[in-house]
Chain A
Amino acid sequence: QSALTQPASVSGSPGQSITISCTGTSSDVGGSNSVSWYQQRPGKAPELMIYDVSDRPSGVSNRFSGSKSGNTASLTISGLQAEDEADYYCSSCTTTSTWVFGGGTKLTVL
């Protein structure tokens, strides 16, 4: 199972919006609603930000939103804040009940 494809890095200024893409295949992202996004700060465990493509766990800011079109899922962060600077990973359950992660995207807040 190959990793999902994410851009290595994205950046934005405070207050702006950024979008991180996550491209897979019909065997994972395209064939599953179990697409999720995780935030990971240096030295820390990942934290769930989005599940079921676009749902937010309680406690996660509504500045974070998710969507999917075909084999590509996206995470959008609006009203960018300094505290959003972190690595972001997408993940998907596959049609064979395994899971796959993306390569990760480093978000820099300028």
Chain B
Amino acid sequence: QVHLVQSGAEVKKPGASVKVSCKASGYTFTGYAIHWVRQAPGQRLEWMGWITADNDNTKYSQKFQDRVTITRDTSASTAYMELSSLRSEDTAVYYCARDLFGRSLDYWGQGTLVTVSS
């Protein structure tokens, strides 16, 4: 079955960068796009961006456009999300999710807590 397993929790200082990984299994990694979504404590889900399946095109939310980079390593069936210039408001759980051909996000990783604190 489909599994998305994310890297462990991170603690970062303001101004630093964080890179979260998402290892996929149980399906053909190159056949599906991957989204990244975050959720600050007690807050709503917030879409950050996605990377397409075929040509590695990316699309980002305007809110994160200048600070986020989503990549993938097809040889490792792993997607990555890097967020730079971290501030306290970036403290959140970050999720990766598989894209169901532009119709929904059908499988989700377990989430990675990123804490930004001085």
Contacts and interface: CB of A to CB of B under 8 A. Distances in A.
Our verdict on whether A and B bind, yes or no, reads yes
Interface of A: 1, 3, 33-34, 36, 38, 40, 45-48, 51-52, 57, 89, 91, 93, 97-104
Contacts of A99: 35, 47, 50, 105
B26 interface: no
A93 B100 CA distance: 12
Contacts of B77: none
Contacts of A34: 102-104
Contacts, number: 66
B117 interface: no
A104 B104 contact: no
Contact of B108 (A46, A93, A103): A46
A89 B45 contact: yes
A45 B108 contact: yes
Given A36-B105, A45-B95, A99-B50, 5 more contacts: A33-B103, A46-B105, A48-B105, A52-B103, A89-B44
B52 to A, nearest CB: 9
A46 B45 contact: yes
Contacts of A89: 44-45
B20 to A, nearest CB: 14
Contacts of B104: 34, 36, 48, 51-52, 91
A63 to B, nearest CB: 19
For the complex of A and B, list the 10 residue pairs with the smallest distance between their C-beta atoms, beginning with the closest. A51-B104, A36-B104, A45-B108, A99-B47, A101-B45, A104-B44, A103-B44, A34-B103, A48-B106, A51-B103
B105 A91 contact: yes
Given A48-B105, A48-B106, A98 B61 contact: yes
A57 B102 CA distance: 15
A46 B104 CA distance: 12
